[in-house]
Amino acid sequence: MSRSRDRTRRHPAYLRRPEEFYTLWIAATSTYGVGDIVSTIAFLAYVPEIEEANPIVALALDSFGLAGLVGLKIAVYLVMLWISVLGARDGDGLLYYFPPVLLTIVGLYLTGSNVWLMWIAT
Q: What local confidence, expressed as pLDDT, does residue 3 receive?
A: 46
Q: Check whether 5 has a pLDDT greater than 60.
A: no
Exposure class string for 33-53: b at 16+ Cβ within 10 A, else e: bebbbebbeebbeebeeeebe
Distances (CA, A) of 53 to 41, 43, 50, 57, 81: 13, 12, 9, 8, 25
Q: Check whether 107 has a pLDDT greater than 70.
A: yes
What predicted TM-score, i.e. pTM, was given to this entire model? 0.85
Judge whether 110 and 28 are in contact, CB under 8 Å. Answer: no
Cα 59–34–17 angle (5° rounding)?
Answer: 120
